Amino acid sequence: MAPNECISALGGWEGFEVCEWRQERRGIQSWCVLRLRRERTAAAYCSGCWREAPAIHDVEWRTVRDLPLFEHAVELEVPRLRVACAHCGPRLELLPWLQPYARVTCRLAESVSRLCAVIAIRQVAAYFGLNWKTVKEIDKRTLERRLGPVDLQGVTVIGMDEFAIQRGHRYATVVIEPARKRVLSVGRGRSREELRPFFTLLGPQRCAALQAVVMDMNSAYELEVRLHAPKPRSSTTSSTSWPSTPARSSIEYAWMRRTACAQTGALGIW
């Protein structure tokens, strides 16, 4: 088997094959650059309606990252088609291994999101040599798919507290439902303004149904609670009385980040 055929078979870029490859060094990193071409027999499908397209509208070359090959970072040069779809007009070709407009392959995105579950975004970015924002967007899209919108039905008791992202510099506010041990919202900062989107999301009816709010001696929290939910009978307490709430371990922080990304759009705070 010729080297290009071998790499094509191992790479598994459906509908494409390797026509050229080269190795180059960029700084201390060795790169394997693979140039792909479409297989002659491959049909093109529309990413809008998934129908086979009768014609090609135009072609643009894209640079896409894939999983590393041994110690070499891998970069693909891909001819990205826009098909002339009879139903949707010009649309990017549907590829099972590359999302429209993505700069990384689906399998690299999957690896990135799995690693984001256990370590910080900046560490994932450094490990794969990707831009921090790219990793964040991959993580965010994955979490949106997995978590979906938060269910606020039946919430009658909430707890809120601040926690430090950079102690003395940046803080965030987390709102939880102690009974079900769920994070409901995470927002930047610890002011009234940061808490307000949660109450807006909760809505007047569910605010009126709140029976108790557990929080520490933060007057900003209390004022905002009184504004939206005057009914709760409680309750300021010390922040040390949170045994049933999520432990402040790195795992819980990671979970909060995920919830923040998916539910509140509070991006970039970690």
Q: How far is the CB of 49 from Zn ion (least distance, A)?
A: 3
Three-point CA angle 142, 146, 151, nearest 5°:
130
- How many Cβ atoms sit within 10 Å of the Cβ of residue 144? 15
Of 47 and 218, the one with the shorter C-beta distance to Zn ion is 47
Of 85 and 92, the one with the shorter C-beta distance to Zn ion is 85
Contact 165, 172 (CB under 8 A): yes
Residues in the chain: 270
SS3 269: coil
Q: How far is the CB of 95 from Zn ion (least distance, A)?
A: 14
Contact 112, 104 (CB under 8 A): yes
Query: Which residues sit at the interface with Zn ion, rule CB under 5 A?
Result: 46, 48-49, 85, 87-88
Q: How far is the CB of 172 from Zn ion (least distance, A)?
A: 42
Of 53 and 225, the one with the shorter C-beta distance to Zn ion is 53
Give the type of residue at 240.
Answer: T
- How many Cβ atoms sit within 10 Å of the Cβ of residue 45? 20
Of 85 and 109, the one with the shorter C-beta distance to Zn ion is 85
Q: Can you tell me the distance from the alpha carbon of 55 to that of 70, in angstroms, rounded to the nearest whole number? A: 38
Q: How far is the CB of 54 from Zn ion (least distance, A)?
A: 11
Q: How far is the CB of 64 from Zn ion (least distance, A)?
A: 22
State the residue for tokens 């009914």. Answer: 231
Of 48 and 178, the one with the shorter C-beta distance to Zn ion is 48
